[in-house]
Structure 1
């Protein structure tokens, strides 16, 4: 089964980055190219067929699946207009399930060829989108399934918004003409200019020069930080890490000096200022006695409780190893938290300024971390 296309990102810190995405991409692809079980032509014999990039063929007509999708899309738009968020979300999930069931062997219409036709068309469309955007002179730094991230080259938010709307109109016009010319169909794909990040960070894969995937953060036009896939929104990191990352991002996005902030934060950790933020919370998925080959830290902590019951354990790292929050008997291991919870986050930013966390603390490199 082929999934959506996720481009290797071009890491960096950017100003006025645009996000454009397709509205309900997979359902719209099903409508546009009549990807429908009853219209599927397995042997690809016949006239006036639509051939998907994976080789699957469909009759060039309007099938039942497309009509169902159209009806649901209208109902979703109505729910959105009436501000019925629960109904809108329910319809969205139902629409997305149309692709999923076609790839499920338990479905009577199961067909990997049909399901892959959707994802292959999706890959083709998003790659073509990036190609057309770059043809207009703008750099695409990332794309993920149904969206593209574009450097606007703008000098102001107003200019960036104008470029976003211009690209949106350009792409919709292009796909209308492209689908009609190449497939003799009416285009149902709808590109939307979603937002502009005034300041945007695309990190690198840890320990590599390769750009990350599905991990980024940006300052939106309302001066709010949005985070995707990074430590601040992950459940397996401590509140200490989340506080540090959000405050560090805030300074970077507002072009404030971060050298002294990082040093002071580390000192405050050592002084015990953030002790309440050092708690790990992990799920225990099976009985403690079944952990035989390896014993993760949260299991070691749970075993130190006489009668542990439940599915989650809260614990801290001490100089004697992991200890449950209810029975902390030793000093907290501040070095662990600095090395494992602070340093990786700091390095993900400092990496762009040719200085490491260790070098910053040692003072071996004097780097102006305000010059972006």
Structure 2
């Protein structure tokens, strides 16, 4: 064997028992292809308080569970000394947890062994692998007795495969589509059709033959990443269950290793040597927002393309095509694969996953993971400071931490409003005021070298990690912006902004409401002081929300003068904060107020049927290079539960208002077109079903009423929660769209047009026969 050092990026991770010892297996993608890395023997571990060590060891001896115990210099957050209990295999570790879990508190016993190995070495995706190369390896390199070190600069070039299956309602397979950058195939069960000339269809006799070819293409194309839509919860789950029913294994991993699926609160999948990434989860992780995350809706918005089948009951249509037109079914299957591949490419979702892993150390495919990311980043630093992480629910202090500060608004129509926004306010508060879990534990023990927080919190000026983590991420984000790396910048922003939520979440082991309160209440203080300084400078603040302050500027000011005023004010406020924080806290301020935008004009509505100003609802006009644009916040135009007609009507109204045109003729025109049935296609409501259909008993909202009518007529099979119901209001009440029943136009006039128009009635000469929204029942 030859000792080699190879750069690479971790694709999959698992632990194995080899000759009675635990080893970790990491598959890497490298410049030379796939590499299988097997580490030296490692030990599994959990921690107990030293006062419990003798009792824990006695119970383990009674259960004949081999272990090694060691007293440590580490301590718990309550300052009790800690000890480690080690095991040669993961199975012994699991058995020990079962024996001790009801009698002795175990710490960090829930951390996956492979995750601990990587996090303690600060490995986040990229690695240097130093091991012995197995000369007997086949198509890939194998390293044994390997040591891994971080390689933060390695950028992987991943081979991506898009997969989609078609099947009947029982999971019996019809076809599997596979598409990568240069190749495509649809494995279709059946006899070749004489009139078919599609080069991409490969006909197979049955499901067994289909699986055989699936194995062949995975081995031949050898992808690093497999993508799809619901690809874990549906496609791979169906493939796994169908293979099991047929008595075969799915050897789709590298080195012909089997697919492994774990079900629980959510489905987890292990495909050794490869990564499976779901499109919907990734879009949500990257904070994309769509009216619906169905493939067709996302493809239409992102690509301007659609699926080949779009009926309400596609399952029935797919079954029919399988029996009568398999070529069309193959084209549909292929198109779905292509749409997913193109969405990933257009939005650079693989790049986002890589960047997130490089920042947090989480797996490429990780779903959600804010708490896991925080733990990955924080725990190694905590250990090096001499502490073990607390357990969930150990925190005895519980109260609701206040949210972000929202000022009362001053409703009305303004000629000029500028918005001043604190850049990454909550991370900046963490960094400036030294908010930190360990810092609070040590700060509460001392009266010296502390920074007072809120709700009794005190933070050490010397011992802390989170402020430094924020500083590193902030610097990395600034560098990413300068280099034009939008994906990295977005990934950093998401991680930084998650820190506050994590500290206030009972699902995090570092949860303490004093931490979250010391962030949000400091934010309240900052917003109020900023408002005071602006008003002392002679400006009127009309609204503020969490980190943004809306300032009225003279109606005579030009766009350039507004911009100059905004920039001047940010310099003054930032200097004020630097001086105040240095004087009152002897700390450096990292608060940074930025000039964000000028609205010319700007409208802040009242709360409906009240005189008080609303919150989180406004519309303003901004000037861009290509012309004037309306920006809506919280109003009907940007809400998914209003019709397309209402959204267009509201936009048209504000375009007229901001151009000093009459408004009432617009209302009359929309009513006329509505009654002439010219707007019927714009009258559809879309509402998601949040619970199983049988859960709606006492209070039944309109979309569920419509759905129940359809189900009662046998026109639709019961959908799962998350199904988006399209419906209209007919003379007989809510019905799913499309409906043959006449539309109830009075409903749309009162509930949509008049409701929106009422917020602007003071800005027009309104005929006496106009009535605002009434309470209608159906």
Q: TM-score, structure 1 length as denominator?
A: 0.91
2:485 matches 1:73: no
- Alignment match, 1:22: 422
Instruction: Tell whether the 8 Å contact from 2:405 to 2:524 is kept in structure 1 after alignment.
Output: yes
The whole-number CA distance in structure 1 between the counterparts of 2:668 and 2:507 is: 57
Aligned pairs for 1:98-137 within 5 A: 98-137=499-538
- Greater helix content: 1
Which of the numbers 755, 762, 772 marks the counterpart of 1:344?
755
List per-residue Cα deviations over 1:189-248 (Å, max 9, x = no partner): 001000100111111111111111111111012211011111001010000110101111
In structure 1, stretches of 5+ residues that fail to align are: 363-372
Deviation at 1:109, TM superposition (A): 2.2
Which of the numbers 659, 664, 669 marks the counterpart of 1:259?
664
2:601 matches 1:191: no
2:566 matches 1:164: yes
- Alignment match, 2:701: 296
- Alignment match, 1:370: none
Moved more, 150-159 or 207-216: 150-159
The whole-number CA distance in structure 1 between the counterparts of 2:409 and 2:747 is: 31
Aligned pairs for 1:295-314 within 5 A: 295-305=700-710, 306-309=714-717, 310=719, 311-314=723-726
Larger RCO, structures 1/2 (Cα 8 Å, 6+ apart): 1
- Alignment match, 2:488: 87
- Alignment match, 2:245: none
- Alignment match, 1:353: 763
Aligned pairs for 1:210-359 within 5 A: 210-222=612-624, 223-305=628-710, 306-309=714-717, 310=719, 311-326=723-738, 328-350=739-761, 352-353=762-763, 359=768
Instruction: Tell whether the 8 Å contact from 1:232 to 1:245 is kept in structure 2 after alignment.
Output: yes
List per-residue Cα deviations over 1:245-298 (Å, max 9, x = no partner): 111111112222212222222222122121110111122233434322133221
Instruction: Tell whether the 8 Å contact from 1:239 to 1:277 is kept in structure 2 after alignment.
Output: yes
Instruction: Say if 1:44 and 1:196 are closer, same or farther in 2 by CA, change over 3 A.
Output: farther
Moved more, 56-65 or 224-233: 56-65
Q: 1:115 aligns to what SS in structure 2?
A: helix
2:581 matches 1:176: no
Deviation at 1:8, TM superposition (A): 1.2
- Alignment match, 2:540: 139
The whole-number CA distance in structure 1 between the counterparts of 2:411 and 2:445 is: 43
Instruction: Tell whether the 8 Å contact from 1:140 to 1:149 is kept in structure 2 after alignment.
Output: yes
- Greater strand content: 2
Q: 1:304 aligns to what SS in structure 2?
A: helix
The whole-number CA distance in structure 2 between the counterparts of 1:15 and 1:61 is: 49
List per-residue Cα deviations over 1:165-194 (Å, max 9, x = no partner): 111111011101111111111111001000
Q: TM-score, structure 2 length as denominator?
A: 0.45
The whole-number CA distance in structure 1 between the counterparts of 2:460 and 2:573 is: 26
Instruction: Tell whether the 8 Å contact from 1:138 to 1:153 is kept in structure 2 after alignment.
Output: no
Instruction: Say if 1:75 and 1:359 are closer, same or farther in 2 by CA, change over 3 A.
Output: farther
- What's the Cα RMSD here? 1.9
Deviation at 1:78, TM superposition (A): 1.5
The whole-number CA distance in structure 1 between the counterparts of 2:508 and 2:733 is: 50
In structure 2, stretches of 5+ residues that fail to align are: 1-400, 772-778
